[in-house]
Amino acid sequence: MNSIIKYAQCSSLSQWSPVFASQFHTSSALSRVVSGKYRITKKRDRPLTYEMANPPHFIAHRKSWNSWNTSSLKDGLRRSETAVEDEFIRRFLNGTWHGLVCSEVIIKRQFNHIRVAAIVRRAVSPTKMYFLIGYTEELLSNWIQCPVTLELQTVDSYKDVVFKYI
Amino acid sequence: MSVFIRHYNPGSVYNAKIWRFASTTAETPKLTNGEDDEEFRVLDILKKRDKLQRRAPRKADVPPDRAEKMRTDQKWGDVWPGPKSFHPSSVPLPIRQGYVPKGQAPPGKKANAELMKIPNFLHLTPPVIKSQCEAIKKFCTEWPKLLNSEEAIEKHYPLEIITSDYCHASPVIRNPLSRIVILRIKLSDLKLDKHARDKFLRLVGDRYDGQTDLVTITADRCPVRRQNLDYVNYLLTACYHESWNYEDWEGDKTLQDMEYYDFDMNQSKRNLVNWHLLCLNEENNFSDEEIKLYDVASIPNATEYIESVSSLFNDGESDATLKKYDTSVRKLLGLPDKKIVT
């Protein structure tokens, strides 16, 4: 390395420029958007819900938001807190209702009231489901210090929410 | 299986005991089936898994939708009393939502997350709103009869205080923007004389809007609305009383210090009065002060002349002001109108 620097110091830049030019490769940016999109499988058997079937740029056109609150408006308050809480609620719900939640978890906030909506499979008995509803509401409202309401819709199986296969 | 126990007492005969346990499995000779011995065990390389018998999920008895049993004359407010996400089994409407290619039907109301996302107003149907308004009517008071128009309100309540309350989804109800207080008052509603008005406008600065004649004072420096309200009121009071104060140095203002053309203080007034008295053949021995206080309303067409002269000096020379000056001078001196020769 030292020898290169010494060589560069003793020689003029014009001698170096062709070397640098040949070592730098530039190409145009590949603006390929991949996130939130699903690949087509060979057998065309990947089930997609309506939410998954529409990529993110269709939000507000073909599908709407999963979080409804005033923090995302201009000059909204508690932006980061709201985002973190929403993510926490989503993870908690997906873990508590493990393998049961068939759709995205929809979180709507009104004043200090948080309403969580989801579509759930009827794989467990109604008794367990009632317990889980109470458990989720109680724990979440204790953590977030807000009244939390679960508004669930049940379906027979995952196939009910499938919009198309790709 | 057996246990050998050695019990040894010194000086006595060696004593040993053997216990034998009876066991059902340990030492019984293995019973083997004759067939097993004869058949070789098959080495299954591609071992096919024994199919585990999957427990069939119990099908819950799902009762038919509530919507199907609803009567047509039911009270909808009892079915949907408050804000709630859409639930297909309690809404008896054939709703569909979703984008699909042309020729297909959009997804129905069941298992449709899009319908659950959008805010609905099923709890605010017109009959429900009507009944709720009836319920809170007893807390309302009648509107005062004398305040029947905007002008009456403005006349009796000239002071206007504007504050904002914010309603947002958050565990805290406070919004820092709600502290801002705006006070508005028409300048004509304040009792000010010429000097006080001039001073008030200087104190207020750009808070006065000449077109609407409104003085707007905004306060947001205190953390609480109440404090800002007090501050705004204080500002208005202080400006008002300060504008009525007459400081000693204010008398030192000379004609050269004037920032606008005041007709009463200038030579034009003296000329006008002199000319008028000359016309009337009256004696003219007025001092400066007397000329300043001379009422020009008695001179015919003088007010228009004064206006045009003032506007010529204050607004600057332009075609409009010059033309106005021309006509007013002709009127004052009784000259005929200008004839435009073409």
> What are the backbone dihedrals phi and psi of residue B272, each rounded to the nearest 5 degrees, phi first?
-60, -45
Distance between CA atoms of A25 and A20, rounded to whole angstroms?
Answer: 10
**A145 lies within 8 A of chain B by CB:** yes
**Closest residue on chain B to A108 (Cα):** B117
Specify the residue for token string 């008030």.
Answer: B200
- Supply the pLDDT for residue A74: 86
Q: Which residues of chain B have pLDDT under 70?
A: 1-37, 49-52, 56-60, 342
Distance from CA of A163 to the nearest CA of B (A): 8
Optimal mutation site among A58, A64, A79, interface B, most CBs of chain B within 10 A: A64
Question: Is A33 part of any domain?
Answer: no
* Fold annotation for B150-252: Double Stranded RNA Binding Domain (3.30.160)
> What are the backbone dihedrals phi and psi of residue B11, each rounded to the nearest 5 degrees, phi first?
85, 5
Question: Is A18 part of any domain?
Answer: no
**B116 lies within 8 A of chain A by CB:** yes
Residues of chain B with CATH 3.30.160.20: 150-252
Optimal mutation site among B66, B86, B114, interface A, most CBs of chain A within 10 A: B114
Distance from CA of B222 to the nearest CA of A (A): 20
Task: Report CB contact under 8 Å: A108, B119.
Answer: yes
User: How many independent structural domains does chain A possess?
Assistant: 1
Task: Report CB contact under 8 Å: A153, B57.
Answer: no
In terms of DSSP bridges, do strands B2-7 and B15-20 run parallel, antiparallel, or are they unpaired? antiparallel
Across the interface, which of B114, B116, B175 has its CB nearest the CB of A153? B116
Along the 166 residues of chain A, how does pLDDT read in single tens digits?
Answer: 555 555 555 555 555 566 666 677 778 888 888 888 999 999 999 999 999 999 999 999 999 999 999 988 888 888 999 999 999 999 999 999 999 999 999 999 988 899 999 999 998 889 999 999 999 999 999 999 999 999 999 999 899 999 999 8
Question: Is A139 part of any domain?
Answer: yes
**A163 lies within 8 A of chain B by CB:** yes
- Supply the pLDDT for residue B230: 96
Task: Report CB contact under 8 Å: A119, B85.
Answer: no
Question: Is A28 part of any domain?
Answer: no
- Supply the pLDDT for residue A154: 92
Question: Is A86 part of any domain?
Answer: yes
**B47 lies within 8 A of chain A by CB:** no
Here the CATH number for the domain that contains residue A157 is 3.30.300.20
**B82 lies within 8 A of chain A by CB:** no
Question: Is A16 part of any domain?
Answer: no
- Supply the pLDDT for residue B2: 47
B111: left (phi over 0), alpha (psi -120 to 50) or beta: left
Hey, what amino acid is at B292? K
- Supply the pLDDT for residue B142: 92
Across the interface, which of B110, B114, B170 has its CB nearest the CB of A112? B170
| Nearest-5° Cα angle at B240, B237 to B244 | 140
- ipTM confidence: 0.78
pTM: 0.67
| Nearest-5° Cα angle at B250, B245 to B254 | 150
Task: Report CB contact under 8 Å: A123, B57.
Answer: yes
**Closest residue on chain B to A161 (Cα):** B111
**B84 lies within 8 A of chain A by CB:** yes
Chain B residues in contact with A141 (beta carbon < 8 A): none
Do the Cβ atoms of B181 and B219 come closer than 8 Å? Answer: yes
Optimal mutation site among B85, B115, B172, interface A, most CBs of chain A within 10 A: B85
| Residue numbers of A between 77 and 96 with CB closer than 8 Å to B | 77-78, 82
Percent of chain A past pLDDT 90, that is, above it, reads: 65
Specify the residue for token string 């004509």.
Answer: B188
Cross-sheet strand order for the sheet of A67-68 = A67-68, A106-110, A113-121, A148-155
Task: Report CB contact under 8 Å: B117, A66.
Answer: yes
The per-residue pLDDT for range A85-95, each reduced to its tens digit, is 999 999 999 99
Distance between CA atoms of B310 and B260, rounded to whole angstroms?
Answer: 9
- Provide the residue range defining the domain that includes A74: 47-165
> What are the backbone dihedrals phi and psi of residue B117, each rounded to the nearest 5 degrees, phi first?
-75, -45
DSSP-based three-state secondary structure for A146: coil
The per-residue pLDDT for range B96-146, each reduced to its tens digit, is 999 999 999 999 999 999 999 998 999 999 999 999 999 999 999 999 998
Q: Encoding tokens for residue B313?
A: 């000096």
Q: How far is CA A20 from CA A15, B72, B290, in A?
A: 10, 82, 93
Distance from CA of A30 to the nearest CA of B (A): 29
The per-residue pLDDT for range A93-129, each reduced to its tens digit, is 999 999 999 999 999 998 889 999 999 999 888 999 9
**Closest residue on chain B to A141 (Cα):** B171
**A63 lies within 8 A of chain B by CB:** yes
Beta bridge partners, B162, equal B182
Percent of chain A past pLDDT 70, that is, above it, reads: 87
